[in-house]
Amino acid sequence: MDNINRGNAISLFIINKKIINNLIVMTSLSRLFKPFADFLTENRCLICGKGRKLICQECEEKIAPLRQSVCPFCLKITSFGHTCSDCQLKHALKGAVVGFDYQNKAVSTIIKASKYPPFLYPLLAKLTNHLKSFFADQSFYENYFKTNDFTIMPIPLSKQKIAERGFNQSEIIASGLQKMLELKLDSKNLVKHKDTISQVNLNIKNRKTNIKNSFSVINHQALKNKKILLVDDLITTGATIEEAAKTLKRAGAQEVWALALARNLRPRSSPPMNSPKEKN
Ligand SMILES: [Zn+2]
Ligand SMILES: [Zn+2]
């Protein structure tokens, strides 16, 4: 076989393999999550069901950045999302930046459709991109993170979870942020060595117990006196980011902030009917 023919044969094999894989994926997706699969094949908006795009312009325009900044743990209003003085006494996280309200239908639909079937994870990059206007509005964050030489770290998934899902949603967001804020990115040093059960149906106490001691740091030296921006898709009670922040601080990090695409801002005393699906 000459080089050109061999090249063609290889491309054909790759194309066929891709088509077969797509068919397998589409078949299992449509079984698992038919409504979303219908949207994919019929080119309707995931959010309103109208139009010809996956997210129509009207729905995309409704994705507005949050104006309110609160303590990540008690939801008291604080400047720039700093952990309030009471919560600082028992938490490692210095503060949390939250881009969007999870009660915004466009935001919650995008996050759910990315993390769960049909796994439209490129939409997370699209939502991350909407943070540009958030950072333009609130220049404190970009100045603070840049001046203090923060390193971005995605919340890791366990090996089992990665094998199951095939990607880490926090890494997708972290990579978009890295380009936007021009900070360093480290996706390797923080690992999740314990495969925990889903936090979805757990109360705050059980979430803390479930996630406890599940993260570890590979290279402690690389963290010495470093300031870290932990990235996640969603904050529900803050148990996951707090556990990761504790692990980083124990390993030598000087300061840890979190950034999440969204959170539900309802008071904890009245949990929503559809509590956001968190975590891993
Ligand atoms: Zn729409
Ligand atoms: Zn607080």
- CATH number (1.10.150, 1.10.3470, 3.10.450, 3.40.50) of 63-263 reads 3.40.50
Nearest residue to 156 (alpha-carbon basis) of 179, 177, 176, 173: 173
The single-letter code of the amino acid at 223 is: L
**What's the gap in Å between 49 CA and the centre of ligand 1?**
6
Alpha-carbon span 235 to 258, nearest angstrom: 9
**What's the gap in Å between 217 CA and the centre of ligand 1?**
42
Q: What is the pLDDT of residues 246-259, one digit of tens each?
A: 999 999 999 999 99
User: Nearest ligand, CA of residue 48?
Assistant: 1
**What's the gap in Å between 122 CA and the centre of ligand 1?**
17
Note the pTM of the prediction, 2 decimals: 0.81
User: Nearest ligand, CA of residue 56?
Assistant: 1
Per-residue pLDDT of the chain (280 residues; tens, 9 = 90+): 444 344 444 343 344 444 444 444 444 444 445 555 555 556 789 999 998 888 999 999 999 999 889 999 999 999 999 999 999 999 999 999 999 999 999 999 999 999 888 889 999 999 999 999 999 988 999 999 999 999 999 999 999 999 999 999 999 999 999 999 999 999 999 999 988 877 777 888 888 888 888 999 999 999 999 999 999 999 999 999 999 999 999 999 999 999 999 998 865 544 433 344 434 4
**What's the gap in Å between 43 CA and the centre of ligand 1?**
11
**What's the gap in Å between 227 CA and the centre of ligand 2?**
21
Q: How many CA atoms lie within 13 A of 69 on its CB side?
A: 17
User: Nearest ligand, CA of residue 90?
Assistant: 2
Q: List the domain boundaries for the chain.
A: 63-263
